[in-house]
Structure 1
Amino acid sequence: MQRPAFSAVAELLKPITWFPPMWAFGCGVVASGLPAEGRWPLIIAGVLLAGPFVCATSQAVNDWFDRHVDAINEPQRPIPSGRMPGQWGLYIAVIWTLLSLLLAWQLGRAGFLAAVFGLLLAWAYSAPPLRLKRNGWWGNAACGLCYEGLAWITGAAVMAMGQWPDGRSVALALAYSLGAHGIMTLNDFKSIEGDRQMGIDSLPVMLGVSGAAWVACIVMVAPQVVVALLLWHWGQGWHGLGVAGLLLVQLLLMKRFLALPRERATWYSANGVTLYVLGMLLSAFALRAATT
């Protein structure tokens, strides 16, 4: 049986998408307030689990079950282009799922359960019968929770040797998960034609380009306002002002994005989202300062 080239496998797993959950895991580590000494093997394993394993699995699963949509939107992708022959896309998705579980087992009960939940979300997002991505509200919520909140909480739990994180850490993780819903919407602008033809109700399909752009911005802004206020309430006013400052710059970028949302979605993803994740790290350091 013909096997795919290594380059096709790497493209299928989309390394560029690994950054958000790896970053969020790191934020959870910082927010825990616990020293890294003696925990570096767990931290490294957790970062690898969040990115090259669980996130990569979600990309493989999505590419396999989206192969007909990609044939319209991105025919150059490994599966529709034929560079990933036969059912190799599915085989890799299953293999990476098992490898992820094997690595997660080394992180203790908390890390393993978090990985199981993340992998279930990854399959539920793309695979029938649930295929959550058929509805932009549910699908983007699942992605935001998996990529940001779950990874953050896992990082904090691994640092605490399996104990549930502080309630403030969970609150920040959930807030940034909600904001990530908007980030996921930005990614949907590039696939409107295929989504519409294949019956996938992404927000740009349901609400139109302008409506989806406004929703994405509002959903990203609101949680950051809440985070800034929470940090102020917790006695970390300077950190809260920092988050607010980063948000102000995002608002300026959003004004330009909203003028031509479809054409500038990728541009905003590269610039505005960078400021968003910097705010995540700043809020994690604020929580660390509040707990030490």
Structure 2
Amino acid sequence: MYDTARGVAELARPANCVAAAVLTGTGAFVAGAGGAAVAAAVAAVVTAFAVAAGNAINDYFDRDIDAVNRPDRPIPRGAVSARGALGVAAAWFLVAVAFAALLPPLAIAIAGINLVALVTYTTVFKGTPGLGNALVSYLVGSTFLFGGAAVGAPEAVVVLALLAGLSTFTREVIKDVEDVAGDREEGLRTLPIAVGERRALWVGAGALLVAVGASPVPYFTGTFGGVYLLLVAAADAVMLYACYEGFGDPASAQRRFKYGTFLAAVAFVVGRAALLV
């Protein structure tokens, strides 16, 4: 019983759910939540449950790959059955949909698109070179847009969404390099398998360079001040180093990218907070 409960919790990836909810809250704050704190909180809850459901769906369809790459995950080790994982995912999706119905129309539309994208990623796009990476990148970037839309100002977080999406693309490519053995055995054609590992890493590096180039835009447009520029420069440095590290140690590099993404989010939060002082 304990292992089953633990397995269900692991399906959700609680840390990822909380992280995604924080990103949505960050998007709402940067957009200027103001009196829309309730809407921002609801959007964060929607994001957390949608991510949990998507992770469970991903584990269901990846159970054979995980038997090679991640044998300690709930389904391969027998803590949760494949059918049980589907049932849990369906319940979490229903909770996400119920809360999403309380939000403005644009936020509902983004939530609907993202819920479909979460399901189709594993079933359709994951093994398609580059497209699966692009879809995951959109999903991460859209958490900020979703938060902004929840409080009625999605345009305020477009640059933040772009930064998150492009850096995530790079991290996803590095992650695919890490998972080449299991993906090849399963017959998937991820970007590293299709074009080679080093070429794929260079594609990811190109996406990151675009993100880094765009990161100072809010400073030069006067949206945020010098504190933002300093923090986002540090975030850029972390992600650039992680990209370099990916050529030698993809496992460490893709984890480091998360720190860079969160540091970039902190830069936006501090930049926004400085305007309120």
TM over 0.5: yes
Look up the SS of the partner of 1:248 in the other structure.
helix
Distance in 2, matches of 1:85 and 1:4, equals 12
Q: Which moved more, 1:92-101 or 1:274-283?
A: 274-283
Matched, 1:243 2:243: no
Distance of 2:70 and 2:253 partners within structure 1: 20
Query: 2: CA distance between counterparts of 1:288 and 1:165?
Result: 18
Report the CA distance between 1:207 and its aligned residue. Answer: 2.9
* 5+ long unaligned stretches in structure 1: none
In 2 relative to 1, CA 290–203 (structure 1 residues): closer, same or farther, beyond 3 Å?
Answer: farther
Find out whether 1:134 has 2:127 as its counterpart.
Answer: yes
Q: How many residues align?
A: 276
Counterparts of 2:129 and 2:271 in 1: how far apart (Å)? Answer: 32
Given residue 32 of structure 1, which amino acid in structure 2 is its aligned partner?
Answer: A
| RMSD across aligned positions (CA) | 2.7
CA distance in 1, matches of 2:96, 2:260: 30
- Structure 1 stretches of at least 4 aligned residues deviating more than 4 Å after TM superposition: 287-292
Task: Report the equivalent of 1:31.
Answer: 30
TM-superposed deviation, 1:90: 1.5
CA offsets, 1:56-97, max 9 Å, x none?
Answer: 111011111111211222222221222212511222222221
1:279 and 2:248 matched: no
Report the alpha carbon displacement of residue 237 of structure 1 after superposing the two structures with TM.
5.4
Q: Structure 2: which amino acid aligns with 1:64?
A: Y
C-alpha distance 196-138 of structure 1, shift in aligned 2 (>3 A):
same
CA contact (8 A) 1:234 1:290 kept: no
Q: Which residue of 2 aligns with 1:48?
A: 45
Alpha-carbon spacing, 1:40–1:237, altered in 2? closer, same or farther (3 Å):
closer
Using the TM superposition, give the Cα deviation of residue 246 of structure 1 relative to its aligned residue in structure 2, in angstroms: 3.1
Letter in 1 for 2:264: G
Q: Which residue of 2 aligns with 1:80?
A: 76
Between stretches 112-121 and 170-179, larger displacement belongs to: 170-179
2:143 paired with 1:151: yes
Q: Alpha carbons of 1:265 and 1:43: their partners in 2 closer, same or farther (altered >3 Å)?
A: same
Identical-residue share of aligned pairs (%): 24
Partner of 2:196: 208
2:184 corresponds in structure 1 to 196
* Secondary structure of the corresponding residue to residue 83 of structure 1: coil
| Paired AA for residue 226 in structure 1 | A
* TM-score normalized by the length of structure 2: 0.87
> Is residue 2:10 matched to residue 1:11?
yes
Q: Residues 254 and 180 of structure 1: is their aligned pair in 2 closer, same or farther, counting only changes over 3 Å? A: closer
Matched-pair contact (CA < 8 Å) for 2:127–2:189: yes
Partners of 1:83 and 1:188 in 2: CA distance: 26
Check conservation: 1:3, 1:85, Cα contact below 8 A.
no
Residue of structure 1 in register with 2:154 after alignment: 165
Alpha-carbon separation, structure 2, partners of 1:197 and 1:212: 19
Q: In structure 1, which of residues 97, 106, 110 is the aligned counterpart of residue 102 of structure 2?
A: 106
